Amino acid sequence: MNSTKNNVPFSIQKMIKNYLKEQHITPTQLARRLSMRPISAHQMLERPTMQVDRLWSICLALDVNIFQAVANELDIEHYHPKVDQLKKEIEAGNQQINALRKELELLTHENNTLKEVIGLLRK
- Residue 7 belongs to what H/E stretch? none
Rounded Cα gap, residues 27 and 50, in angstroms = 15
Residue 78: pLDDT over 90: no
**CATH number for the domain harbouring residue 54:** 1.10.260.40
pTM score over 0.85: no
- Report the b/e string of 22-44 with b at 16+ CB within 10 A: eeeeebeebbeebeeeeeebeeb
Same domain, 54 and 18: yes
Q: Are residues 92 and 60 in the same domain?
A: no
Residue 9 has pLDDT above 90, yes or no: no
- 62: amino acid identity, one letter: L
Tally the domains of the chain.
Answer: 2
State whether 12 and 41 are in the same domain. Answer: yes
Domain with 36 in it: 5-73
Same domain, 11 and 46: yes
Shared-domain flag, residues 11 and 67: yes
- Does the pLDDT at position 3 exceed 70? no
Q: Are residues 47 and 102 in the same domain?
A: no
Categorize the per-residue pLDDT at 11 as very low, low, confident or very high, splitting at 50, 70 and 90.
Answer: confident
Q: Report the alpha-carbon distance of residue 60 to residue 77 in Å, rounded.
A: 27
Q: Taking 90 as the threshold, does the pLDDT of residue 81 lie above it?
A: no
Same domain, 66 and 97: no
